[in-house]
Chains A and B, each alone.
Chain A
């Protein structure tokens, strides 16, 4: 069974930093692209970032580019999101997710990359980040 267990949320002051973690099990982690998505209270979903299986390719939404950094440790099977210069607008629930997950009936390991990271079939439980003074 594929599992994504998140940690690292909390309360942080404006201008501060926070790092989210997403521990992954049940898949060949180095073969899987990974994404981060957030949801502000009462609002819809916003895609934030994606990273390739090797970690060599990343991409970001304009709203977080230059402030957030996605990374991964393929030995520990952990995905990270380092969030810097946080603002109240960044207050949200943050989710990690696996594009092209094994839950897709025609899943082929490593077939979904960072250019078109479709089919996010497995999600973490979410981590709440509150940016407030």
Chain B
């Protein structure tokens, strides 16, 4: 499954909203209508961290400024009020089937 993210780069003013899009080449739905789509962020010099799983569920400790939406093949990660600490590379990943596959990444930077 090919995962396509946009934009490649996302400059955002602190306090503004941001949105990253992710499209899958096949449906990520399985079972009881769950979409097997995760969102990760990799901050500079760190290991990736899970933000969202199963399309819209927030991982523990993730601020509610972060939300995931979408279903089937089209998804979005929304950040309601961007903070300086949100800088990093954001990846979507499909877990509908192996081999798992990641999007190419979106670099969020602060204006």
Contacts and interface: CB of A to CB of B under 8 A. Distances in A.
B59 A119 contact: yes
Contacts of A115: 97-98
A118 B94 CA distance: 8
Contact of B47 (A46, A105, A119, A124): A124
Contacts of B57: 104-106
A114 B60 contact: no
B82 interface: no
Given A119-B38, A123-B48, A125-B47, A61 B53 contact: no
A55 B53 CA distance: 24
Contact of A118 (B42, B47, B54, B61): B54
A117 B99 CA distance: 10
A45 B91 contact: yes
A50 B48 contact: no
Interface in B92-111: 93, 95-105
Interface residues of B, number: 30
What size tier do the contact residues of chain A reach? 20 to 34
Interface string A77-105: 00000000000000000010101010111
B103 to A, nearest CB: 8
Contacts of B58: 105
Contact of B101 (A47, A99, A105, A119): A47
B99 A119 contact: no
Contact of B99 (A44, A62, A97, A104): A62
B36 interface: yes
Contacts of B104: 44
Contacts of A120: 38, 40, 48, 50
Given A115-B98, A118-B95, A121-B59, 15 more contacts: A44-B103, A45-B91, A47-B102, A50-B98, A50-B100, A101-B50, A103-B60, A104-B50, A104-B59, A117-B98, A119-B54, A119-B59, A120-B48, A125-B47, A126-B47
Interface of B: 30, 36, 38, 40, 42, 47-50, 53-54, 57-61, 89, 91, 93, 95-105
